[in-house]
Structure 1
Amino acid sequence: MTELRTGGTHVLLVTPFLPDHERDRESLSSLIEHVLDAGADGVIALGTTGEFFTMTAAERADTVDEVVELVRGRVAVTVGVGSDSTAEAVKLARHAQTAGADCVMVLPPFYFAKSADAQLAHFSAVAEAVDIPVMIYDGADGIEVDATTVAALAQEFDNVKYVKMALPAPQRVAELRRLAPQVTVFAGDDATLVSALRLGAAGSAIATGNFLPKEVIALHAAANSGDWDKASEVFADSLLHGVAATANPKNQFIARIKAVLAAQGVIAHATVRPPLAQLKPYETEDLLASVRAAGIL
């Protein structure tokens, strides 16, 4: 098992698809090499960016197997096990552990978004089912996981070691560190990355690293050295433009990231699966013009 490195980025991988919506292993391999060659500290498969919600359980299991095989132990592999069904999340987590993943990322149950009790039961079941580390996803689809819930989980389960804090509220990082000091917090909101690092995030788990991995890593290097002016400069010069171009409208962010990756030649196709919609030709043209003007292409 590879410990998750701190001080850098764990890239939330997209899942490449062929035009017929079948999974594209060749492009997945290309994407993994792209982010690892840039120096990424880890990869996260089957997060929201990875379109897990469009995939069958068998496809998710196969994707985990492929990612672990393609990474070959060079960095830590974290696997998203998001499901409203606790039993299904447990099954996915157990498969991830058997396949050789280093960590599982657990999303809160969507249908009980405001229930701390439901979250606690869901997270506890997954943590109890596996021996590998667990990452709690705070902010999936805007769903908050209270810091007291994280603290209770970390107190009871030694393998609850990480939190991905994906809400645009970097002050939550400081709260999590105060109430659950044994848990490592990764910044999960691309737009507030610098602020989250300033407040104690130990690294990032963001999607921008798919198409700007070198820039994300350069930002972390500056932050690690305490050069916050440089970190802000890197963000303003490149990441800000990439985030702005791909993040809105929110329901298009995966399609937009894939369009940029396809234009970069990292993946073969920008295909997304329903219910996500492909970008219209003019939307792709406008997007690529924006990132080209920003020097991303």
Structure 2
Amino acid sequence: MAKSGLLNASDIHGVWSILPTPSKPDASDWRATNTVDLDETARAVEGLIAAGANGILSMGTLGECESLTWEEKKVFMQTIVETARGRVPVFVGTTTLNTRDTIEQTRYAHSIGADGTMLGIPMWCNPCVDMAVQYYKDVAEAVPEMNIAIYANTEAFKFDFPRAFWARVSEIRQVVAAKYIGIEFLLQDLHLTKHRMKLLPLDYQYYAAARMDDFVDAFWSSGTVCGPLVSTTLRDKVIAARRTKDWTDAHAFQGRLVKTAAPFPEDSFKTFSIYNVALEKGRIDAAGWMNAGPVRPPYNDICPASYLDSWKASGQRWAELHKQLETESSGK
């Protein structure tokens, strides 16, 4: 069961699923209204919890926070919270272009029972460290019982999330986690945050991050909605490795996992970020566990077919690994 009220870093562990906002067939048309497929939302949330996901993060870039209407955000939040029924923590995205709208959306999310917000920085102007830290302080002051997971996406928010930022923002009581990209500075940032918050690496980087520091016992995964057994297996093998001090099996599974990955277009995170929504939704739909649906405007119909094909193939490889694990599990 999810813990009510403010969480501690120790409450953040395991697999945190990144949930897309599933769309109806006409969602790519700007004339469309009420584009969220709420039935698919409820089915996916129920499936993730049944499969053992430890938490849910929603309405980031893949979740199309940037292209949902406020009314769509509200019904999507409600569906996630009502389906989860407190069984796992639910963090919903409330990022906007300014502090006041962000606070309004965060207050609403708290009022319906969301445990936290996955919160990025307003991205109109390039932020400095002082602005970024103050923004999180203001949201925390305005909604003091709402947990905050920082959405640290350097391309989306025109901010490189430097060491000074992590040292200062970790002093905010409500900041308990971060959706963290890359592990180059992970040890430094863990030291600077004094282990007051969990820095969640990507699933593909979790094995390496877990070997760095035992405090790293949580990760984020959009792959869960391509087949959750892959992500929960990764979690469980790291847990077993820490218990036995034998990392052989976890290392072998990491080798299987990385074979499912798709390369960034042009080997560039910057290029990937241009087409992020289409690539991730294409990957999810190709895997077949969840129907993510079409991309909402203005980010629809812009992705080169060669990039999209690569990510669809990644989804198919993930789905095949999921199927293999089901077979292996049934044979035990």
Larger mean CA deviation between 181-190 and 27-36 belongs to 181-190
Conserved 8 A contact 1:108-1:145: no
Q: Which of 157, 182, 197 matches 2:210?
A: 197
2:92 to 50, 71, 79: 79
Is the counterpart of residue 259 in structure 1 residue 278 in structure 2?
Answer: no
**Percent of aligned positions that are identical:** 23
Query: Is this contact kept in 1: 2:167–2:192, CA < 8 A?
Result: yes
Structure 1 residue 165, shift from structure 2 partner: 1.4
The equivalent of 1:134 in structure 2 is 148
Q: Per-residue deviation at 1:223?
A: 1.7
- Residue 103 of structure 1 pairs with residue 116 of structure 2: yes
CA distance 1:7–1:233, change in 2 (3 Å)? farther
- Contact 1:83–1:89 (CA under 8 A) maintained in structure 2: yes
- The answer (yes or no) to whether the contact 2:226–2:315 under 8 Å persists in 1 is no
Paired residue for 2:330? none
* 1:242 is aligned to 2:260: yes
The one-letter amino acid paired with 2:277 is I
1:231 is matched with: 250
Superposed, 1:89-128 pairs within 5 Å as 89-128=102-141
Aligned residues: 292
Matched, 1:274 2:274: no
Distance 2:210 2:237 in 1: 11
Aligned to 2:166: 150
Determine helix, strand or coil for the equivalent of 2:221.
coil
Deviation at 1:282, TM superposition (A): 7.6
8 A Cα contact 2:262 2:311, kept in partner: no
The residue type paired with residue 255 of structure 1 is A
199-208 vs 127-136, greater mean Cα deviation: 199-208
Partner residue of 1:42?
55
Q: Deviations over 1:147-204 (max 9, x none)?
A: 333332333x3222222212x2x14221222111242223243442322222332301
Partner-residue secondary structure (3-state), 1:128? helix
Tell me, yes or no, if the aligned pair for 1:151 and 1:180 is still in contact at 8 Å: yes
Q: Is the counterpart of residue 11 in structure 1 residue 17 in structure 2? A: yes
- Residues 94-134 of structure 1, C-alpha deviation per residue, up to 9 Å, x if partnerless? 11111101111221232343511110121111111111221
RMSD across aligned C-alpha pairs, in angstroms? 2.7
CA shift for structure 1 position 241: 3.4
TM-score by length of 2: 0.78
The unaligned stretches of length 5 or more in structure 1 are: none
Q: CA deviation at 1:252?
A: 3.6
Cα separation, 1, equivalents of 2:128 and 2:247 = 38
1:81 touches 1:104 (CA, 8 Å); kept in 2?
yes
* Aligned 8 A contact 1:41 1:76 in 2: yes
Gaps of 5+ in 2: 28-34, 266-270, 324-332
Deviates more, 1:16-25 or 1:113-122: 113-122
Change (3 A) 1:199 1:111: farther
Kept after mapping to 2: 8 A contact 1:219/1:230: no
Deviation of 1:263 (Å): 4.1
Using the TM superposition, name which of 53-62 and 249-258 deviates more: 249-258
Structure showing greater Rg? 2
Cα pair distance change 1:267/1:208, threshold 3 Å: closer
Shift in Å, 1:277:
2.6
Aligned to 1:105, what secondary structure does the other structure show? strand
Maintained 8 Å contact 2:20/2:292: no
